[in-house]
Amino acid sequence: MAADITATPENTLVDPETDAGDVGPASGDNGELQNYLNFSFWKDDGDNVYETGESQITQLVGPAGGIFNGSWVALADSQSGPALVGDSTSYVAKAWCFGTLTPNPVAQDGLGKTEGATNGPLVRGTGITCNGSGNNNAAQTDGVVVDVSFYAVQSRNNGAFLCSSLPPLTGSAPVIVNGDDLALSVQDVIDTPSKWLFWNDTNNTVMTINQFSGTGGTNDLVTGPMGVGAAQMTLDSGVNPRYNIATYKYKDVKLADIGSLKYRIYDASASSETPYLHFNVDFANNDTWQRRLVQVPTGVVANTWTTVDALAGMWSWSGYAGNGNMWPTGAGAFDESVEYHTWAEILAAYPNAETRSTDSFLGVRVGHPGPAGENSFVDWIEFDGEVTNFED
């Protein structure tokens, strides 16, 4: 199960709101209701009463603005089973409160759902208390809109399935990319710039599927570890192999406007050379080759699916060494002689920086370069809320 806020309308501003310090604007997604509307979800037996012995779903307890973030919550998977039984009914209950919500479970009656709801919340109480006192007038007239989604797979043939393998719910369906969707030539990219492709950074070419299989290389969309569809890249034994799953679709995007930049990887090799994200950057808005911004994740555990939030990581510039161990001259917001900087520091130093207009490459790469045999998988990539999910 996943829930994602898609709108927080202010609707209008009335006097109690402005008296509480709400300055709007009165239109658009400027509301505050999501900060005060608290929820609790729990696995219920069907009577819609929170009873002793029932457990709250901890990831779905708290204010709407914090818990409805698009992350998938396991109701049952290979690590939090058992699987739901076919031809049976399971229940998820919820309570909400404009104020402080406190669990106060009632005694378990063991009856579950009864005919006519004779043991429901109107008879026995909800098992939840709500205290709406306090000055929350800033949320008057406001709204919150949430998309809720459920996802189910057959347990018999997906014994290792994990809900965490799914791309985040972002208010719109992910873009599914299969093998038939890939660009296999430069002309394919010219004809359809939105396509994804395997890119060889060693000789700057679009790769065909498993192009270097004769020397141990793999590049294909496969069913990866734990049954997860993914882009697999295994480096060949040639000189300085460097493979990417990449696209040219994100052009002319101001870095300050990128709201999210994430990717999910599985490093199946023993080396410390993890997959990483990089893209062609235009610091000066003149659409010339200014090399790439690079985000190499830390703390990636081998043989484990890891979600990387690139905007929360440290970034380097691929032109740093060739520029005398200096970043390009910016707005003086950071020490240009220091190699690694936060995303916020980069935005402050280069407020007009964008992705390139023409050569707008963005990809996740395996190979620093090499080593030969390095084997990794990329499940999905998220750019400013758009999730691209790679499937066999």
190 shares a domain with 149: no
Structurally, the chain folds into a number of domains equal to: 2
Q: Would you state the pLDDT for residue 172?
A: 64
Are 160 and 179 in the same domain? no
Residue 168 pLDDT? 82
Judge whether residue 9 has pLDDT over 90.
yes
Q: Is residue 170 domain-resident?
A: no
Residue 56 lies in domain: 2-165
Coil, helix or strand for 101?
strand
34 and 134 part of one domain: yes
**pLDDT at residue 208 tops 80:** yes
Q: Tell me: do 108 and 205 sit in the same domain.
A: no
Q: Can you tell me which residue has the tokens 């696995």?
A: 43
Query: Are 151 and 242 in a shared domain?
Result: no
Query: Are 135 and 86 in the same domain?
Result: yes
Whether residue 136 sits in one domain with residue 191: no
Mean pLDDT in residue range 25-44: 92
Q: Give tens-digit pLDDT for 119-169.
A: 999 999 999 999 999 878 999 999 999 999 998 988 887 788 888 888 888
* DSSP string for 193-211: TT-EEEEETTTTEEPPTTT
Mean pLDDT, the chain, integer: 93
Compute the average pLDDT of residues 4-24: 90
Tell whether 45 is covered by a domain.
yes
Q: Please tell me whether residues 149 and 251 are part of one structural domain.
A: no
Which residues does 127 contact at the CB level (< 8 Å), separation at least 6? 49, 50, 51, 103, 104, 105, 106, 121
User: Are 156 and 181 within one domain?
Assistant: no
pLDDT higher for 138 or 227? 138
Q: Is residue 212 pLDDT above 90, yes or no?
A: yes
* Opening angle at CA 256, ends 253 and 259, nearest 5: 85
Q: Element (H or E) spanning 348, and its range?
A: helix 343-349
| AA identity, residue 94 | K
Query: Long-range contacts made by residues 177-186, C-beta under 8 angstroms, separation at least 24?
Result: 177/221, 177/388, 177/389, 177/390, 177/391, 178/221, 178/391, 178/392, 179/209, 179/220, 179/221, 179/392, 182/209, 182/221, 184/208, 184/209
- Tens of pLDDT, residue by residue over 268-326, are 997 789 999 999 999 989 999 999 999 999 989 999 899 999 999 999 999 999 999 99
Comparing 134 with 183, which gets the higher pLDDT?
183
Sequence-ordered list of residues with C-beta below 8 angstroms from that of 218, at least 6 positions apart, any chain: 210, 232, 233, 234, 375
Return the DSSP state at 340: -
More confident residue, 164 or 113: 113
Residue 182 shares a structural domain with residue 158: no
179 and 73 within one domain: no
Of 118, 142, 165, which one is at a domain's C-terminal end?
Answer: 165
Q: Residues of the chain with pLDDT > 70: what percent?
A: 99
Final residue before a domain boundary, out of 105, 134, 165: 165
Q: With bands split at pLDDT 50, 70 and 90, how would you rate the model's confidence at 171?
A: low
Judge if 358 and 231 occupy the same domain.
Answer: yes
**pLDDT of 170 higher than 80:** no
Beta-sheet pairing, 362-366 with 276-282: antiparallel
Closest CA to 211 of 189, 191, 182, 190: 182
Query: Is the preceding omega at residue 82 within 30 degrees of 0, hence cis?
Result: yes
Spatial separation of the C-alpha atoms in residues 186 and 359, rounded to whole Å: 12
pLDDT of residue 105: 97
Read off the CATH number of the domain in which 250 is found. Answer: 2.60.120
